[in-house]
Amino acid sequence: MPMQRWDRILFRAGKSWFDDDVFKHSAAVSFYTLFSLAPITIIAVWVAGFFFGQEAASGQLSDQISQLVGKEGSKVIEDAVAASRPENTSWFSMAAGFVVLLIGATTVFGQLQESLNEIWGVMTKPNRNGFVVLLVRRLISFAMVLTVGFLLLVSLVLTTAISSLVKFADSYMAVSPIVLQGVDLVVALGVITVLFALVFKFLPDVHLRWRDVWQGAFVTALLFSVGRLGISFYLSHSTVASTYGAAGSLVALLIWIYYSCAILFFGAEVTRAARENSGLNVQPKSKAVRVTRQIVEEVKKNGPVTGGIVTKKRGERG
């Protein structure tokens, strides 16, 4: 892609990033994520543990979380997981515990879908079968949770393979460990890119091709990978933990989640800007309708409206 085109895309995405009030959306998703992290972690470990064993999957996920949010943030998540894990007492309690986990794990994806819809300028149409719509949304969200577990499985397999290559290289080849560490970083970047691509492809109520989402997903993964180093440096040199006392680790984790959400929404803006830069308009799915930001606020305040595509005002994006 020509550099001049990238300049236009990034400028447009950056402007829309502020216009769409992504900081408000980041705060909302961060709040729901705090309550969904433990259920998502448990289900992801269940999925990966089915193939590799619970201990191996749990250990791998713990290592990855520590690399992302630090030891203190990882401890907060591990404690929440331990408190949320269903006890093996009876089938009824296990089933009830699983339902609670399912609701908790899918809640954050519901909020994320709503935020992405606002970025794309669409809103779900009013539907009399509200329960059916809610059920479909929960199923989509649960599929995303299972995908997280599958990607954990892929990451575990690749990490095991790379670890074996490192041992083989040390014994029989003159390959620098730095090269293999570079391969590990590339693999991790690839896994994160796939995860963001799935979010951008399936959560918003708009029709998107796979080639529409890869650019935004890669930019998001790159910023996410680089930015986590910056946020880790900030948290390690700031007084956040000491200022909030016992809640310091939780606050630090919330800051990290907030940053990650802001980056994810910037990737969504890049995805939309790249599509519109190619001359393609937003095409809502059959259950959604295009709206302007003004209409969104009116619907939230006064209730749903009917109609198809809502014509945007001159100069207003949506």
pLDDT of residue 292: 67
pLDDT of residue 315: 43
Tell me which amino acid residue 276 is.
E
Q: What percent of the chain has pLDDT over 90?
A: 10
- Which burial class, exposed, middle or buried, applies to 315 when counting CB atoms under 10 A from its CB (0-12, 13-18, 19+)? exposed
More confidently predicted of 57 and 26: 26
pLDDT of residue 250: 78
- How far apart are alpha carbons 123 and 119 in whole angstroms? 10
- State the average pLDDT for the chain: 74
> Does 123 have pLDDT greater than 70?
yes
pLDDT band at 309 (very low <50, low <70, confident <90, very high): very low
State the pTM of this model.
0.76
Q: What is the pLDDT of residues 129-182, one digit of tens each?
A: 666 666 777 677 667 666 666 665 666 666 666 666 666 666 666 666 677 677
pLDDT band at 42 (very low <50, low <70, confident <90, very high): confident
Per the listing, tokens 């302007």 go with 292
- Domain-by-domain residue ranges, the chain? 3-117+129-282, 288-318
CA 85 → CA 22, 23, 146, distances in Å? 33, 32, 17
> Does 189 have pLDDT greater than 60?
yes
More confidently predicted of 35 and 61: 35
Least confident of 56-60, 194-198, 289-293: 56-60
> Does 306 have pLDDT greater than 90?
no
**Residues in Cβ contact with 102 at an 8 Å cutoff, skipping those fewer than 6 apart:** 39, 43, 138, 142
Interval 253-280 mean pLDDT: 88
Interval 219-248 mean pLDDT: 74
- How far apart are alpha carbons 198 and 220 in whole angstroms? 12
Least confident of 6-20, 97-111, 151-165, 225-239: 151-165
Interval 59-71 mean pLDDT: 67
> Does 220 have pLDDT greater than 80?
yes
Q: What percent of the chain has pLDDT over 70?
A: 57
More confidently predicted of 209 and 43: 209
